[in-house]
Amino acid sequence: MTALFTPHRLGELTLPNRVVMAPMTRSRATPDGLATPSMATYYAQRATAGLIVTEGVQPSLVGQSNPGTPGLHNDEQVASWRQVTDAVHANGGRIFAQLMHGGRVSHPDTIGQTPVGPSAVAAVGEVFTRRGRLPAPVPRALETEEVPVHARAYAEAARRAVDAGFDGVELHGANGYLISQFLSSNANLRTDAYGGSPAHRTRFAVEAATATVEAVGAARVGIRLSPGGTLWGVRETGVPELYGLLLERLAPLGLAYVHLEATTEDEVLDSLRAAWPGTLVMNPTDPTGPRWTERADADRWLARGADLVSFGRAYLANPDLVERLRLGLPLAGAETETYFQGGDRGYLTYPAYQHVA
C-alpha cells in the first residue's frame, strides 16, 4: 500500500509526502483582491504539506464570487502574490493557485455587474456580499461567442500565477462554480455546442484546461471536480458517463493531476480512478458534510489507488498537520465563526502542537 509519507513525483516537482492542503476560502484579501502579509504567513505556516492549493482566486473581475477573495487578473495582484509564494518556497513548500470563476454564484454588489452563467438560472441559496448574505441573482446567460473568452480567462490567470511564483494552478471545476455549472444538467440549459449532451456539457471544461495547458504547460495544471455534487443547487445526470467522458477528453492533455471530491459513491470514484491515467488527488469527505478528513480516510484512499490525499478543514487549526498525522497527535478544532470574518484571529492564531515533557 502507498504510504502517506512517501515522496511522489508531480510534474516537475518532487513532493516529500502525499498530503495536499485543499483549497479553502478564507476571505482575507484586500478589497482590491490583493494578497496580504498575513496570507503569506498563513500559507508559509503550512509549507510542510506535499502540496498547497490556495483558496479560490478569481481569474477576472466578473469571475469573483465572494468579497475578500484574491485575484490574478492585474499586475498589482500578481505583485502581491509574490510575498506568498516566496514565503512558502523559503519554508521548503510547493504551492498551486486555485483558479475559481464563480459564474452565477456571485452578486452585483460584489462585482458591479450581473453575474454570468451558462443559462439564466439562479443558484440555490444566498450568496455572500458586502451587505451580508443575499439571494443569488439570476445570471446573464453567456452568448455562444462569449464562452471561449471565459475559458481563456483561466489561461490568462495561469500565466499571471506563474509570473507571481506559483508552481502551478488548479482549475476549480467543482462545487457549483462556472465549470461545474457547464457540466450541470439544471444550471446549463443551453442548446448550442456547450449544452445538452455530455459531449457538449464537457466542452467548456476541456477548452479551459486546453487553453491553460497551452499557456503554462501541462505539468503546471490540475483540475478539481465534484462528480454528482449538489452545492449551489447544481444537478448532474448520468454522472459516471459524464465524468468518464470528461476524463477521457482531458487525458491527452497530460495534466499534472485530477482532484476528486467524495461527492458520489465509492464505486463511481473507483471507476474514475481506473479511467484516469495520471496522478489522482482524492478528497475523502464531502465538503458539505460534518466530518473532516482523518488519517484513516487517507490510508483507505491510498489503498484504493489515489496518489495524493487532500485535507481541508483539518488544516485550518493545524498548521503542522503533516507532523500531527505522522506522530498520531490530536488535532485542534477550528472556530467556525472565524472562517470568513477577516483579520488574523482564527487565521494565524493556531499554534503548532505543544509537546509537554
**C-alpha cell, 197:** 449532451
Strands 8-10 vs 13-15: parallel, antiparallel or unpaired: antiparallel
Of how many residues is the chain composed?
A: 357
**262-287 burial string, b = 16+ CB within 10 Å, else e?**
bbbeeebbebbbebbebbbbbbbbbb
SS3 category, 206: helix
Strands 132-135 vs 126-129: parallel, antiparallel or unpaired: antiparallel
Q: Which residues are catalytic?
A: 177
Dist. CA 67–CA 127, nearest whole Å: 10
Taking Cα atoms as reference points, which of 199, 257, 309 lies closest to residue 12? 257
Cβ atoms of 342 and 27 within 8 Å: the answer is yes
Dist. CA 291–CA 350, nearest whole Å: 20
Cα Dmax for the chain:
67
Beta strands in 75-174 (DSSP E): 95-99, 116-117, 126-129, 132-135, 140-141, 168-173
